């Protein structure tokens, strides 16, 4: 991997996180006006169309990309991700972008903690220490027993757990299927699952909100494309730490657009989580 490719991969990862943060801001606006499942459903229709279009352009076409020896696993991944998105978008409307993302940032630590029992990967004492420190950060954010603790703060933690399980199943699926096959099943299985649930919550949308919805769909496809390109240019271990920019960008949107506040405990807890996560990623790279 050349220095130029690494720099391009890092730039694309940073751009992807900015696009995803913008998507979160749009999701928060739309989900405050309409049912969460309807918003996610429309977003997923576009996601599925994008995944199918990519598959049709790939060598071997749609038939080759869709072929898998583990359809049950691939469907489970798609359903898990769409459920995680619904939970996280609900958290945006109830807690805001800042606090939701501060808690959600612990998902790499959950992946590291669960990779041992679920995938048989070795988790050494230093990684366990980082995982423990990360969850101290979560407790700092949640402040249980302080008199201001809300059960709503557990919603993004549930989202992080769902996404960690999705990430682990993706690792497992990668032992037999390539990334494009997994991406195809993520979009199509998720679209079918959310349509079966979300179609019952259809609400008429205003003209301006259809514009925001169209922008949400376009940013979703754009973000997935830039993420794919980033991983094509650079090793995942080299650019994954820059995924934490998602927290920074989402917090900036929450503060500037939605007038959210950065409480000292949220800032301190997020810092602990990010440092712990970066250390975990570094240890994975060293052991790899």
Is residue 140 within 8 A of residue 121, CB to CB? The reply is no
Return the SS3 of 35. coil
Q: What is the token pair recorded at 49?
A: 């169309």
Q: How many domains does the chain have?
A: 1
Residues near 202 by beta carbon (within 8 Å), at least 6 away in sequence: 38
The single residue listed with the structure tokens 């679920």 is 118
Q: What is the DSSP string of 203-218?
A: ----HHHHHHHHHHHH
CA–CA distance from 191 to each of 84, 148, 165 (Å)?
13, 38, 19
CA–CA distance from 213 to each of 35, 204, 238, 278 (Å)?
13, 12, 33, 34
* Domain span including residue 250: 3-287
Is residue 83 within 8 A of residue 189, CB to CB? The reply is no
What is the number of other CB atoms lying within 10 angstroms of the CB of residue 236?
Answer: 15
User: What pLDDT is attached to residue 147?
Assistant: 44
User: What pLDDT is attached to residue 86?
Assistant: 95
> What pTM does this model have?
0.86
Is residue 105 within 8 A of residue 243, CB to CB? The reply is no
User: What pLDDT is attached to residue 148?
Assistant: 44
User: What pLDDT is attached to residue 237?
Assistant: 62
Mean pLDDT per block of 10 residues along the chain (288 residues) reads: 74 87 94 95 94 92 93 94 94 89 82 74 72 75 56 85 88 86 93 96 93 92 81 70 81 88 79 78 64
SS3 content of the chain, % helix, strand, coil (to 5): 85, 0, 15
User: What pLDDT is attached to residue 286?
Assistant: 66
User: What pLDDT is attached to residue 162?
Assistant: 93
User: What pLDDT is attached to residue 146?
Assistant: 46
Total number of residues shown for the chain: 288
Is residue 52 within 8 A of residue 184, CB to CB? The reply is yes
């Amino acid at each position: 991997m050349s220095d130029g490719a690494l720099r391009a991969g890092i730039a694309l990862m940073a751009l992807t996180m900015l696009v995803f943060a913008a998507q979160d801001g749009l999701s928060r606006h739309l989900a405050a006006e309409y049912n969460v499942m309807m918003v996610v459903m429309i977003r997923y229709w576009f996601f599925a169309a994008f995944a199918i279009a990519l598959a049709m352009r790939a060598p071997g076409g749609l038939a080759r990309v869709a072929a898998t020896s583990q359809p049950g696993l691939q469907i489970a991944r798609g359903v898990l991700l769409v459920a995680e998105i619904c939970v996280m978008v609900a958290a945006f409307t109830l807690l805001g972008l800042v606090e939701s993302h501060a808690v959600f940032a612990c998902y790499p630590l959950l992946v590291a903690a669960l990779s041992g029992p679920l995938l048989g990967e070795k988790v050494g004492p230093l990684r366990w220490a980082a995982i423990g420190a990360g969850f101290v950060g979560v407790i700092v954010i949640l402040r249980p027993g302080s008199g201001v603790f809300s059960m709503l703060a557990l919603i993004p933690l549930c989202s992080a757990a769902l996404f960690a399980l999705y990430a682990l199943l993706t690792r497992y699926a990668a032992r037999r299927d390539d990334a494009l096959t997994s991406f195809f099943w993520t979009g199509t299985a998720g679209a079918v699952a959310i349509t079966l649930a979300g179609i019952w919550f259809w609400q008429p949308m205003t003209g301006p909100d259809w514009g925001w919805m169209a922008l949400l769909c376009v940013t979703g496809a754009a973000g997935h494309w830039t993420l794919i390109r980033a991983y094509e240019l650079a090793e995942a271990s080299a650019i994954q730490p820059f995924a934490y920019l998602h927290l920074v960008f989402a917090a900036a949107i929450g503060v500037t657009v939605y007038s959210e506040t950065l409480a000292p405990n949220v800032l301190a807890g997020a810092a602990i989580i990010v440092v712990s996560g970066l250390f975990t990623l570094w240890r994975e790279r060293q052991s790899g």
